[in-house]
Amino acid sequence: MIAFVGYAFFGGLLAYAAGAVASLITGRSERLARLLCCGFAIAGALLETVSSWLALFGASDAHWEIPAGVPFLIYSFRLDPLSAYFNLILSLLAVAISIYSVGYLRPLDGKGSAGVLGFFYNLLLLSLTAVFTASNAFFFLIAWESMALAAYCLITFEHRHETTRQAGVLFFVMSHAGTGCLIIGFLLLNSFSASLEFAAFAASSAQLTGAWQAAVFLLFSLGFGVKAGVIPLHIWLPEAHPAAPSNISALMSGVVIKTGIYGLARVLFEFLGFPPLWAGTIVLTVGVVSALLGVLYALMEHDLKRLLAYHSIENIGIILIGFGASLMFITLGHPKLAAIALIAGLFHTLNHAVFKGLLFLGAGAVLHATRTRNMEKLGGLIRRMPQTAFFFLLGAIAISGLPPLNGFVSEWLTYQALLAGFGTTGKLTRVLFPVAGSLLALTAALAATCFVKAFGITFLALPRSKEADDAHECGASMVAGMGILAAVCVALGLGATWFLPVFDGITERVLGVRMSAELVGAGGWVLTSGSARGGTVSTAGIAAMFVILSALPALLWLLWGRKGHRYIEPTWDCGLPGLTAENEYTAFAFSKPLRMIFAALYQPRREIQAEYEVSPYYPTAIRFDSEIESPFEDRLYAPLQKRILAIATWMRGIQAGSIHAYLAYIFITLIVLLLLGVRS
């Protein structure tokens, strides 16, 4: 069994590597490069799916070590349940995205860049797999950095646009600041464990106390928080994700930011030792803030992909609410509740990967067909792209947390964990749980509002531009890619109870409890909150009831409705000569009430200039300008950037630009380090 897992795992890695090399070699013939890139990626992803699924249920961890011949560095892979679960998320999404890419990359034919894209795409998949499965800190950092490099090259793929280059640089700088924190964090852990193996970190975690624990928590939270896009470390995310090609955006939002979540799960639940109460409280609070601010900023976006990027911040927040609550329950001595909260967070990680991947692919299909991401120029696509519209609608329902799809299940589990949290302590801390729950409810309701806007303005009513009017349905492979993810959304929603055993291995390793039997009741049809009385929900039952209750309208139809006719007539236009797209509501107008209600946050500023010749009542042209405040960029990062630039200017004194000087610096540093090393 383990041997088979190994063959599939390394086979998958080899396929990714082969895909990277093959698409680079055949780069001259774009069609071949595109097919090889996607073909190898699909094969690799399928193999990885199989191996991680088997590893999840394996009796012991699949573990391989390949010595690199250098001290400290061992290429060691370990498919323990947590790694296998994240690798499963990655490979599942990679299958769908790679199928989609066959069609999506077709416009690149004849432009000579498909090979490069294919190279970095497969490299990203390869390094992501390594990030999720590496069990040596040194190797992990190498994988982490190659992931960041591959992602950077993909983000800046359309580098002819100035904004894309800027987004790439911002991503690069933020990502490296985060990696710096990680390096220090791993070195700190190393000083306790005297080894860079993850297993050693976990074994020596009990020694970590007091200030050292706080330092490790802070460093890793910053380092992984940047990658996850947690507020206030999120500013690169809404720039970088939309700039990339849409299949890459799907991978970025679906999986790359989840590497931060993976890292946090590893550190918080395995390396940190017994968590103090403040750690869980901080994670929970940051989660709530990220979720709420993420959705509030998403509401103000009219760029379809930027809107989706802000929703990634929101969903990372929801995941962190689960993690934070879980940490608090560990501290308070409730391992079962901790397991429920952890399952909620991990399940939402998968769910978000699936529906956000789906939505980005849908946005990509819209971009492909209309060449615009601006919602104000779209509309009417439900008739022109019926399948894309249908899949996007399913994704929108799932991300809004509405039953019976998958988003609802993980949010329901989060609510149950938060509610049960009230009884775990007598201290005032317990008020935090229901307050977090009610703010999560606000977040979910605002997300539904945002997706009514995103779907309604983009797909419904009349097209607002010629491009939208001329749109056409995308090709079979793109539809298939979206269809797979939509089907997974439905399956994970209706079949949630049958999926829960997946988490048993993880919770047993981390918390020592297996919850799936307790969370499932009535022969697998009902999800419970862990206790018999607590609360139950059945997404499959709800779906079945939809079918059964449809008998009612059918009955009404039989009794009354057979006489009436259906007339297709123009929409009422208040007596104007015909309704045009200009009469439609816009995305900007749709979010106006919320912009006014949350004016304290947005600080909206608007400017109206009317030009007229005779009387102000007959303007010849009106110019309207509106913008909202971006507090994090302006108040936090702008001063920071100024400070850093000032230091850099000061440092320029020693940057002579002469290679001899630099060699001298390196030599001196080496001597100093050697001296220090010898003395201790």
Partner 1 sequence: MNAFAPALIQLLLFLIIAPLVTGVIRTMKAKFQTRRGPRIWQPYLELHKLLRKGMVIPDTASWLFSATPYVVFLTAAMVSLMIPMVAIDAPLSLFGGVLAVVYLLALGRFFLALGGLDTGSSFGGLGSSREMTISAIAEPAMMVAIFTVAIAANSTNLSEVAKSAVGQSWRFLAPSQMLAFGALFIVLIAETGRIPVDNPATHLELTMIHEAMILEYSGPYLALIEWGASLKQLVLMTLLVNTFFPFGLSPDWNMPGIAIGLGFYLMKVLIICCLIVLVETTNAKMRLFRVPELLAVAFILGALALISTFLF
> What does the block give as tokens for 377?
């120029």
Pair 319, 349: CB distance under 8 Å: yes
Residue 626 in 3-state DSSP? strand
Nearer to partner 1, 522 or 610 (CB): 522
Name which of 316 and 381 has its Cβ closer to partner 1: 381
Give the one residue of 536, 604, 619, 630 binding partner 1; rule: CB under 8 A: 536
Residue 654's alpha-carbon distances to 618, 647, 662, in angstroms, are: 64, 12, 9
* Structure token digits, residue 471: 């749109």
Q: What's the rounded Cα separation, in Å, for the pair 313 and 305? A: 13
Residue 85 or 310: the one with the smaller Cβ distance to partner 1 is 310
DSSP string, 17-82: HHHHHHHHHGGGSHHHHHHHHHHHHHHHHHHHHHHHHHHHT-SS-EEEEEEEEETTEEEEEEE-HH
Q: How far is the CB of 113 from partner 1 (least distance, A)?
A: 37
Q: Which of residues 554-573 bind partner 1 (CB under 8 A)?
A: 556-557, 559-561, 563-573
Q: Decide: is 162 part of the binding site for partner 1 (CB under 8 A).
A: no
Task: Candidates 91, 416, 477, 507: give the one binding partner 1 (CB under 8 A).
Answer: 416
CB of 425 to partner 1, least distance (A): 11
C-beta closer to partner 1: residue 534 or 631:
534
Sign of CA dihedral 392, 395, 399, 404: positive
By three-state DSSP, how is residue 622 classified?
strand
Rounded to a whole number of angstroms, the minimum distance from the CB of residue 457 to partner 1 is 7
**Among the residue ranges 177-185, 304-312, 438-446, 630-638, the one whose residues contact partner 1 (CB under 8 A):** 438-446
Min dist CB 473 to partner 1, Å, is 14
Single out the residue of 583, 603, 641, 669 in contact with partner 1 (rule: CB under 8 A): 583
Should residue 325 be labelled a site residue for partner 1 when binding is judged by CB under 8 A? Answer: no
Minimum distance from residue 475 beta carbon to partner 1 (Å): 22
Query: What is the size of the binding site for partner 1 (CB under 8 A)?
Result: 87
The distance of closest approach from Cβ of residue 610 to partner 1 in the complex, given in angstroms and rounded to an integer, is 21
Structure-token pair, residue 173: 């700088």
Q: Which CB, 242 or 421, lies closer to partner 1?
A: 421
Q: In which residue are the tokens 């470390």 written?
A: 233
- Give 211 or 568: the residue with its C-beta nearer to partner 1: 568
Q: How far is the CB of 331 from partner 1 (least distance, A)?
A: 20
In the complex with partner 1, the residue whose CB is nearer, 402 or 480, is 402
Q: Name the segment binding partner 1 (CB under 8 A); options: 42-50, 66-74, 444-452, 617-625.
A: 444-452
Cis check: omega of the bond before 570, within 30 degrees of 0: no
Nearer to partner 1, 108 or 399 (CB): 399
581 binds partner 1 (CB under 8 A): yes
To partner 1, the closest distance from the beta carbon of 386 in angstroms equals: 8
Q: Binders of partner 1 among 242-281, rule CB under 8 A?
A: none
Nearest to 217 by CA among 168, 129, 283, 160: 283
Cβ 603 to partner 1 shortest distance, Å: 17
- Residue linked to tokens 């679960």: 85
CB nearer to partner 1: pick between 570 and 653: 570
Closest CA to 298 of 375, 187, 366, 355: 375
Positions in 449-488 near partner 1 (CB under 8 A): 449, 451-453, 455-457, 460-462
| Nearest-approach distance from CB 646 to partner 1, in angstroms | 43
* Amino acid sitting at position 64: W
Closer to partner 1 by CB, 205 or 591: give it: 591
Residue-wise burial string across 245-276, b where 16 or more C-beta atoms lie within 10 A, e elsewhere: bbbbbbbbbbbbbbbbbbbbbbbbbbbbbebb
Q: Does 606 bind partner 1 (CB under 8 A)?
A: no
Q: Does 579 bind partner 1 (CB under 8 A)?
A: yes
Q: Which is nearer to partner 1, 567 or 650 (CB)?
A: 567
Exposure b/e, 299-322, CB count within 10 A at least 16 = b: bbbbbbbbbbbbbbbbbbbbbbbb
For partner 1, the closer CB: 327 or 461: 461
Residue 593 within binding range of partner 1, rule CB under 8 A = yes
Three-state SS for 134?
Answer: strand
Kindly identify the residues of this chain, within the stretch 331-390, that bind partner 1 according to CB under 8 A: 380, 382-383
Contact positions with partner 1 (CB under 8 A) in 121-140: none
Question: Which residues lie below 8 Å from residue 320, measured CB to CB, with a gap of 6+?
Answer: 228, 230, 264, 283, 284, 286, 287, 290, 345
Q: Does 496 bind partner 1 (CB under 8 A)?
A: no
Q: Quick check: 318 binds partner 1 (CB under 8 A)?
A: no
Structural contact between residues 346 and 56, judged by C-beta atoms closer than 8 angstroms: no
SS3 2: helix
Nearer to partner 1, 44 or 401 (CB): 401
List the one residue from 203, 215, 218, 402 that touches partner 1 (CB under 8 A): 402
482, 362 in Cβ contact below 8 A?
yes
When the beta carbons of 592 and 643 are compared against partner 1, the nearer one is 592
> Which of 288, 598, 631, 255 minimizes the C-alpha distance to 449?
598
Residue of 422, 498, 499, 637 that binds partner 1 (CB under 8 A): 422
Give the one residue of 39, 273, 335, 541 binding partner 1; rule: CB under 8 A: 541
Residue 248 · residue 361 · CB < 8 Å:
no
Q: Applying CB under 8 A, does 533 fall inside the site for partner 1?
A: yes
Residue number with CB closer to partner 1 (441 or 610):
441
Whichever of 555 and 640 has its CB closer to partner 1, that residue is 555
- CB nearer to partner 1: pick between 52 and 443: 443
Between strands 605-612 and 520-521, the pairing is unpaired
Please give the Cα distance from 179 to 632 (Å, whole number). 21
Which residues 6+ apart lie within 8 Å of 201 measured at CB? Answer: 137, 189, 192, 193, 195, 270, 271
Q: Indicate whether 210 belongs to the interface with partner 1 (CB under 8 A).
A: no
Residue 130 to residue 127: CA distance in whole angstroms: 5
Residue 298 CB, nearest approach to partner 1 (Å): 13
Q: What token pair was written down for 420? A: 């049960």
Q: Closest by alpha carbon to 365, among 220, 485, 272?
A: 485
Q: Indicate which single residue of 107, 110, 423, 512 sits in contact with partner 1 (rule: CB under 8 A).
A: 423
Q: Which stretch binds partner 1 (CB under 8 A): 41-49, 364-372, 587-595, 606-614?
A: 587-595
B/e letters for 21-57, b = 16+ CB within 10 Å, e = fewer, are bbbbebbeebebbbbbbbbbbbbbbbbbbbbbbbbbe
- Region near partner 1 per CB under 8 A, out of 30-38, 318-326, 420-428, 471-479: 420-428
Smallest separation, CB 333 to partner 1 (Å): 19
Show the binding pattern over residues 503-532: x = contacts partner 1 (CB under 8 A), - = does not: -------------------x---x--x---
Distance in angstroms (rounded) separating the CA atoms of residues 634 and 653? 29
Which one-letter DSSP state was computed for residue 451?
A: H
